[in-house]
Structure 1
Amino acid sequence: MHHGQDIDVLVSEVAPRDGLQSIKATMPTPLKLRWISALADAGLREIEVGSFVPAKLLPQMADCAELVAHARQISGLFVTALVPNLRGAQAAFEAGVQKITLPISVSEPHSLANIRKTHAQVFEEVQAVVALRNERFPGVEIEAGLSTVFGCTLQGVVTDDQSLAMAVKMAELGVDEVGLADTVGYANPAQVRRVFTRLRNELGALAGSAHFHNTRGQGLANVVAALEAGVTTFDASQGGIGGCPYAPGASGNIVTEDLVYLLESMGLRTGVDIDRLVAAREWLRQGLPGEALYGFIPDAGVGKNFTYAKEAV
């Protein structure tokens, strides 16, 4: 957790990875670099800059090592990347990331469909990644990002017990934190409060971030429920890009601009300047012309009586 004393909630920007990897077009690297700089300049402290996967699978992510090198030069920015396996983890470690996130499906059918691995194979892989980190790259953090926690299009219902058992298993294998993701947009606030409360009770300091989708319009309601359960780190995507929306016209990921407004208006400090954040969209428009961008705040502006959250006295 890299909150520092001057913020209450860490907003982790995932658009350069989760957004770009689900868009067919590839954003030119020079524009990505300027975009990442603009996001950091708006006050974002953590950015997931890409994923370390074979370029032939995801050409959009081929420049990930270059983006890491650039982002590491930005003072005060914590640089993370998604990695699907040991080979990706090694590439990420060598590129200089400060944290990797391993996507772990609670639903075994989803795991098989997504990465063609059984749970037993996934556990072996996580163990190997942790061993490599411990041996050669101490200090780099490893997060297990549990997906399909709140339901799965393939398995259907995913029980709280299944999710918690997977979280505990990840902790036993040596990861530093366990985050929970609503991969398919099934979560509701009552479920979110319940599951994150249990996660904190069972894992303590290892309980990590929340990653919600707005596929069915529940994204920010789920954020408030997670806040009530003690969550202090949230993933979001500029313009709501990515997140595999299944419904036409629906955004997938929750919109960073709207999340920052929600938190600040509730008196929670994010360290992010909304005007600068909205201005950073310009690089997205240039890099992905014609791509739909979402968000209420960029369209409506902040309310007349809006004030940023104040320093705690």
Structure 2
Amino acid sequence: MLVQLQYLRAIAALMVVYFHAILQLRNVQPDALLNGALFGKSGVDLFFVLSGFVMWITTADKAIGAREFYTRRIVRIVPLYWALSLLAAFVAFVVPSILKSTVFDLPHVVATLLFLPWINPADPAGYMIAPVIVPGWTLNYEMYFYLLFGALLGLTKAVRPYALAGLLLAIFLLCRLLPQDVTAARFYGDSVIFEFVLGVLIGKVYLDGRRLGGAVAWPLIAVAGAVMVYNDWMEWDVPRLFSVGVPAAIVVGCVALVDFSRKPVVGWLNLLGDASFSLYLSHIFVLAGARMIYGKLPFDWMRNEALFVVFCLVASSVAAVLLHLLFEKPLDRFLRSRRQAPAQLSPVRPA
């Protein structure tokens, strides 16, 4: 992957961690000044656009069928997600007070493992559509994108992006026509689904060889990034696609189209980009631990809101890198080798 996109993945994941850290801060210190600086969920929109971009540039010029595409995505997503989801379900069953946003409910656990939109039983309003690990709601969308994207791989490269956009639009309109108390209709009828298409179109522009100079790209990144974060903070009552999705697409597009080949690699940020999936899924456990520790600190000076948020960011990052290096990466390597083994062990024809 382009190194600048690794950086962006790391930043997007840290934005989500920051957002959830402020939510935890509101629980442990309701009068904290930082409680008003609640933003960061737009990191998710960066991820959606990035996903579409990466899916396009890794498949557009390659002969890959739907089965191979689905297998790769399952191997990449499912093991870590299932492992942490089952861990969260176990914790919710044994010690329900630890994870405030998770209640053990068997149908909910099954829906989580199958990537089906489901009302989270921990929501007293009965409205929130989220799996056992709440941030995993984005993976329900991702698997939906992959399902449709893979089904269209048989089409020509010229037609495929527009077929994907048309298919998503048709399903979106159908969902909007259905009663909005139907969970699936409300979930798949959200405008956020088109952020994936924006990423695909950016990928098309990239493979067409178009690039941006720094004098144009960096001011656009700064302005679009500021608009994205501001709209994230303000939570305007407008479709997410327009409030943060379009600015996120501008950020991703400009970052992707700038040449980073002559710039030194920022090692720690590149590593955190590699570990961004682990960071995104595992940080809820670290933040739950931070919340519990905060209430037992022996000295008042240690109960500092800024220190709490910084600790959440640093501890979540360290835990994610360890999880990536010790679990996610070795397991991914093992599963890939198992898929390649049959071809390597096939008998050699006699001369």
Q: Is the TM-score greater than 0.5?
A: no
Sort the TM-score into its range (normalised by shorter chain). Answer: 0.3 to 0.5
* Superposition TM-score, scaled by structure 2 size: 0.34
Larger Rg computed on CA atoms = 2
Q: Which has the higher contact order (CA 8 A, sep 6+)?
A: 2
Higher strand share: 1
TM-score normalised by L of structure 1? 0.37
